[in-house]
Amino acid sequence: MVQQYGIGIVAGLVSALLIGVIVKATPLALALYLLAPLPILIVALGWSHRAGLVAAATGTLVLALASSPLRGLAFLVSTALPAWWLGYLALLGRPSGLRPAAAGASPGALEWYPVGRLLAWVAVTAAAALIVVVMLSSGDHAAYQDRIRRLARAMLQLQLQGAEIRGGSVQSDVLPEDDLARIADRVADIAPAIMAVTFTILLIFYLWAAARIVQVSGRLVRPWPDLPATAMPRRILWGLALGAGLALGPAYVGTFGMALLGALAAAFALQGLAAVHDRSRGRAGRTPLLIGLYVVVFLTQGFALAGLSLFGLLDTLLGRRRAKEVPPS
């Protein structure tokens, strides 16, 4: 137990250090900053969720003392708690016919937490963490909206200037001021969804990478799951309905609704990708099909995300792969 806490403290220090290097404002510093959740997830998966909780607390305390309490709180909400929570869920297991138990027993005797439900929790966690971080960093919702509009406006102007430089045919008056402001408003409205998509995908990557690292070390007590069989339970559709309803609400209620919709869209896209892998198993031409799919995803980005999200949504709605991964709802 003491060893676990010691490892947790070291992991928390490493995570806080990775957060701190962002002040260097270099591409390498940004890359290291983005890896900050990994140490917490690694100790949570490789030792115990208690070690992960110690790592989360240590990193938060270090940043609060070295920088500011607000920065420590932001780290806790955006990095530490999501990493610990997902590590905790990933190692949940239960003996057949019994209530959920700790994941320290023999892997053969346990039924592990379904990957589909874990994917759903990743989306919910991403949306919840995002809205709390936005509230902490902005305070008043009007100030948040104004900042997002200014950022969207600046990005649009940069794109127009870049097009003018490349083509030499774009004039500065092509987009009137009113149109520029209107587009900036639309971008500000969907910004929470865009941020939630990115955060959800990042959390999935962190969980996968940490699990792989722990598996290579021989400390992963959970057998590696059949990822192509991933299927979220039908009850996650209530999350879509909730997100759509909240998105119509005022202030931060609407912001959270948009974030939840974006996070679930990313989760459904990943399930859609898994479904393609699953349904193509054993079929001729599978490798060219998957290569072509990934090329299309890379080239079209947002359009491919929408298509995969729809496919994943239908996959959940029809529930034809449910028996492999998720017990009936």
Instruction: Show me where the domains of the chain are located.
Output: 1-90, 91-325
- Sign of dihedral through CA atoms 185, 188, 194, 196? negative
For the stretch 197-254, pLDDT in tens is 999 999 999 999 999 999 999 999 999 999 999 999 999 999 999 999 999 998 899 9
For the stretch 300-317, pLDDT in tens is 877 788 889 999 999 998
Nearest residue to 266 (alpha-carbon basis) of 228, 301, 318, 298: 301
| Half-sphere exposure (Cβ direction) of 254: Cα atoms closer than 13 Å | 12
Identify the pLDDT of residue 144. 83
- Give the DSSP H or E segment for 151: helix 141-167
Cα–Cα distance measured from residue 270 to residue 63, given in angstroms and rounded to the nearest whole number:
33
| Per-chain mean pLDDT for the chain | 85
For tokens 């971008």, name the residue: 187
Q: Is the pLDDT of residue 195 over 60?
A: yes
Q: Look up the pTM and report it.
A: 0.86
Cα–Cα distance measured from residue 299 to residue 292, given in angstroms and rounded to the nearest whole number:
11
Q: Is the pLDDT of residue 99 over 80?
A: no
Q: How confident is the model at residue 329 (pLDDT cuts 50, 70, 90)?
A: very low
Greatest mean pLDDT range, 94-108, 129-143, 218-232, 312-326:
218-232
Q: What is the largest CA-CA distance in the chain?
A: 70
Q: Is the pLDDT of residue 138 over 60?
A: yes
